Amino acid sequence: MCPQSYNRSYTLRDLLQKFEFIRNLDSNPETKIVSLLGTIDSRDAILTAEKTHFIHNDTIRRQSIHPPLMTINSYKDPKKECHFFKTNDNKVKPVSDDELGMRDPCASEFSFVKGVVELKELTSNDNFHWALAVLREHIDENPTAKISVIWPATDVHIRRYDQQKLHIVKETPEMYQKIVKPFINEMSTFKKLEWVYKILYENSEQGRIIYKHYNELNANDGFILLPDTRWDGETLESLYLVALMYRNDIKSIRDFRPQHKDWLIKINSLLKSVIPPCYNYAIRADELRIFIHYQPSYYHLHVHVVHIKHPGLSGGLHDGKAIQIDDAIEYLDFLGSDGWNAASITYTIGENHPLWGRGLKDEVQKQLKEVNINEPPKVINSIKLPN
C-alpha cells in the first residue's frame, strides 16, 4: 500500500470500530493508562485509554465556565455583586454560585460523593472502610476515559509507547559528539520536523493553541503554547502544556551556551506570566514545573510545563530525563564558554530508543567495567546470602 493511501476522513469512532488488536504495549497502574498495538486497514495503530480524574471543584475547572468575569452591582440590592461573562456569541450570561465554586464542591450529581450509583463493600477495620463503586457517568460532565489513536503509527511511535527496559546513561561530551550528535542531525531534517513547522507557520492545530507569543522583529523570543496530548484539557492538577519555540538554532539542551542565559530567563518568566491568566488564575506561577527533556521526543526546542501535583511525572521528571529550566540556566554560570556541550549529562533511556543500539549500550558497559562492575550472568542458579 502506498504510504499516503489511507483514509484521512475517518472519525475517531470509525478508527475504534476498525481497530484490530495485536498486543499490549504498556499498562501503568499509577497513571491509569493502557496502550494497545493493533491495525486499522492493515496499517499499524496505537490505541491509548486514560481514566479521567474525579469531578471536584477544587481540582478541576472547566474552561467553558471560566472565561474572564465581569462584576457589577445588582439593581435590586446595590450592596450585592453579580458576576457575568461573555459567551462566544458576545451575549452576557450570569454566573451561578455553583459555577463560581461557592457551593459544596461535592454537591454535583456527578461528584464521587453524590454520583455513586452502585456500591460493593469489601471490608472494614476500626476507622477504615473499603468498597468498590460505580459512579454516574456523563460524556460532558463526568466522562470515564480519554481515548487517543495514532494511525498510521510509525516504528518511532511504537517504540515510544512500548514497555521497555530502562538504563541510566552518563553521556560524556565525547559520547555526544561521537554517537548522539549525528543522530540528532538525522532527526532534525525538515521532513522529520514538518509537523512542528506546520504548527508554527501554517496554523496547523489552530484550535488547540492556548497562547501565541510572536513578534517578527524579535522572532527568537516567540513560542506557541499547546496542551500536551496526554492532558485531558480540564483537570488542572494534571495540567501538561508544551511550548514550541520559534527559534530553530537550538535542537536540545546540548546547544545551550552562556549567551542564551538571558533568553532562557525571559522564556521562563513569560511562561510563568501568561499561563495563570489562561486558566483564570486557578493555577499560580509557583505551581508550575517547567523543564526540558533530554533525550527529547523530537529535536526542535520545546519546553514542558506541568502542574506541580501532576500524577504521571515518573515517565520523565522523576527518572532523570527532565532537566528543570532553572537548573539549565544556573549551570550556564559554571560550564564555561561551551555551555551544556561540555557537560556530562546523566539520564535514562529505553532499550527501544535508537541511540541505545547505536553505541550507548556499549558505552554504558564500558563505563561499568572501568569501575570494576561486570555484566551479571544470564542465569543465576543460587543466591548465597552473607552471614
Question: In the predicted model, is pLDDT for residue 307 greater than 60?
Answer: yes
List, by residue range, all CATH 3.30.428.10 domains of the chain.
165-370
Residue 309: pLDDT band (50, 70, 90) is confident
| Residue 56 bears catalytic tag | no
Residue 46: pLDDT band (50, 70, 90) is very high
d(CA 95, CA 51) in angstroms, rounded, equals: 29
| Residues making up the chain, counted from first to last | 387
List, by residue range, all CATH 3.30.200.40 domains of the chain.
1-52+144-163
Peptide bond into 182 cis (omega under 30): no
Q: What pLDDT is recorded for position 31?
A: 76
d(CA 354, CA 297) in angstroms, rounded, equals: 12
Pairing label, strands 43-51, 288-293 = unpaired
Better pLDDT: 186 or 161: 186
At which residue does the C-alpha cell 499560580 appear?
284
pLDDT tens, 221-235? 999 999 998 887 878
Question: In the predicted model, is pLDDT for residue 164 greater than 60?
Answer: yes
pLDDT tens, 68-114? 444 444 444 444 445 454 455 555 555 554 454 444 556 677 777 78
Better pLDDT: 127 or 356: 356
State the chain's mean pLDDT as an integer.
83
Least confident of 265-279, 280-294, 322-336, 371-385: 371-385
DSSP tally for the chain: helices H, then strands E: 9, 17
Question: In the predicted model, is pLDDT for residue 58 greater than 80?
Answer: no
Q: What is the CATH number of domain 1-52+144-163?
A: 3.30.200.40
**Rounded to two decimals, what is the model's pTM?**
0.71
* Of 53, 300, 302, 304, catalytic: 302
Q: What pLDDT is recorded for position 102?
A: 44
Dihedral sign for Cα atoms in the order 61, 65, 67, 68: negative
Strand partners, 243: 225, 303
Q: What is the mean pLDDT of residues 305-326?
A: 75
pLDDT tens, 279-300? 999 999 999 999 999 999 999 9
Percent of the chain with pLDDT over 90: 53
CATH 3.40.50.1000 for domain 165-370: no
Q: What is the mean pLDDT of residues 190-208?
A: 92
Please report how many Cα atoms fall inside a 13 Å half-sphere around the Cα of residue 180, on the Cβ side: 25
Residue 349: pLDDT band (50, 70, 90) is very high
